[in-house]
Amino acid sequence: MAFKDFPKPSQGVQLLQRSLARGRLGHAYLFTGHRLEELERLARTLAKTLNCQKPVKTGGVATDSCDECPSCRKIDNETHVDIHWARPESKSRVVTVEQTRELMREIQLKPTEAEYKVAIIAAADRLNTQAANAFLKTLEEPPAKSILILLSTEPQRILETILSRCLRLNFSAEGARPADEAQAEWLARFGTLAADGQKSLLGRYRLLDVLLQKLAEIRAGVDEALTARSPLQRYDDVEKDLRERWEDELTAAIEAEYRRQRADLLLLVQWWLRDVWLHSLAAGGNLLNFPQMAGAEAVAKKITPHQALDNLQTLEQTQRLLRSNVQEALALEVGLLKLHL
């Protein structure tokens, strides 16, 4: 994928291309956005542009990749000797100090066959404290002809000492993301069920079952999509150590993407609960996220504004718990049982 292939190039893409054209590319970047997969594509495209053998040029300077030369293909397949990745490990779901030190060791070496060495840390918010501190030294004094790229969907979890040393480019859409058709359909079902007399214990567990079924669908979809794109599907005769590393990275990537999509789904529920709160205050109008969904108004008629606000706080607490190693089903069960519906 080249920069030209990104739909409606964002300000971030335009800024990168202007920096390339002017020869003013930074040594360290933090790419932030809603989807880690999209951020990885952006980082990969920048690495290809820097090292493309037949680049698209503006004023004699490379500003995009051809996406076809041997160098571009190697970077796409993550087999280029000068492009290095670090992703959270599967068991702890963190980027470890050992991974970071190995990445920094590689970046200090001169390029083997490319013009630039590129080090990319996916889910940089998962750098543990030791890894973050090990990374800081190289971040402060990066070697010549090297680019460091951090990717994160939760930049608020990254150490301030790292944030302050990176040029930050936000590739998120402005404001809240609208629900797509499938999400809106699921939320309408959830809202209708929530409004339909969910004070009984059996009713709450029906609501929980709807949520858990949706999460199971999300996990299965993530597993299928990321497994299909894994280098494990393209290379059968790789060395055992490399295969094990790819397997660990795939497991970690699946878990990270599932957690991101789970957070998105719960954010939809949170937006719906906000509508309940606004209805309870009789302050709907243009402030509603889902004005066409009747369930929120029906629930609001049965609870007080204080209870509606308490619902929002309960869901925020559930989201915080899910970022830890708490059992998912238990955290969701407790959260749903606490809701006023």
Q: CA 224 to CA 243: how far, in whole Å?
A: 18
The answer on pLDDT for 18 being more than 70 is yes
| Arithmetic mean of pLDDT, 306-312 | 90
Answer whether residue 319 shows pLDDT above 70: yes
Task: Answer yes or no: is pLDDT of 287 > 50.
Answer: yes
Contacts of 139 (CB under 8 A, 6+ apart): 28, 148, 162, 165, 166
Percent of the chain topping pLDDT 70: 94
Higher pLDDT, 284 or 323: 323
Rg for the chain (alpha carbons), in Å?
23
Banded model confidence at residue 66, pLDDT cuts 50, 70, 90: very high
Which domains, ranges and CATH numbers included, belong to the chain?
3-170 (3.40.50.300), 181-338 (no CATH)
Q: Give the lowest-confidence range in 73-82, 108-117, 289-298.
A: 289-298
Share of the chain above pLDDT 90, in %: 29
Looking at residues 134-155, what average pLDDT do you find?
Answer: 88
User: What's the whole-number mean pLDDT along residues 248-263?
Assistant: 85
Average of per-residue pLDDT across 190-211: 84
The phi, psi pair for 179, rounded to 5°, reads -75, 140
Of 152, 95, 91, nearest to 123 by C-alpha is: 152
Specify whether the CB–CB gap between 66 and 2 falls below 8 A.
yes
Please compute the mean of the pLDDT values over residues 276-301 and round it to a whole number: 80
Lowest mean pLDDT among 13-17, 29-33, 190-194: 13-17
Q: According to the model, what pLDDT value does residue 174 have?
A: 42
Secondary structure class of 185 (helix, strand, coil)? helix
What is the arithmetic mean of pLDDT over 311-324? 86
pLDDT band of 184, cuts 50, 70, 90: confident
Least confident of 101-115, 135-149, 286-300: 286-300
Helix (H, G, I), strand (E, B) or coil at 334: helix
What is the arithmetic mean of pLDDT over 231-235? 83
Mean pLDDT of the chain: 86
pLDDT of residue 121 exceeding 90: yes
CA distance 40 to 35: 9
Q: What is the per-residue pLDDT for 92?
A: 64
Q: For residues 299 and 176, which has the higher predicted lDDT (pLDDT)?
A: 299
CB atoms within 10 A of CB 55: 22
pLDDT in tens, 263-275: 889 988 988 998 8
Q: What is the mean pLDDT of residues 277-305?
A: 81
- Which helix (H) or strand (E) element contains residue 228? helix 201-229
Say if residue 31's pLDDT is above 90: yes
Q: Quick check: helix, strand or coil at residue 86?
A: strand
pLDDT at 173 over 80: no
Residue 197's pLDDT is what?
A: 64
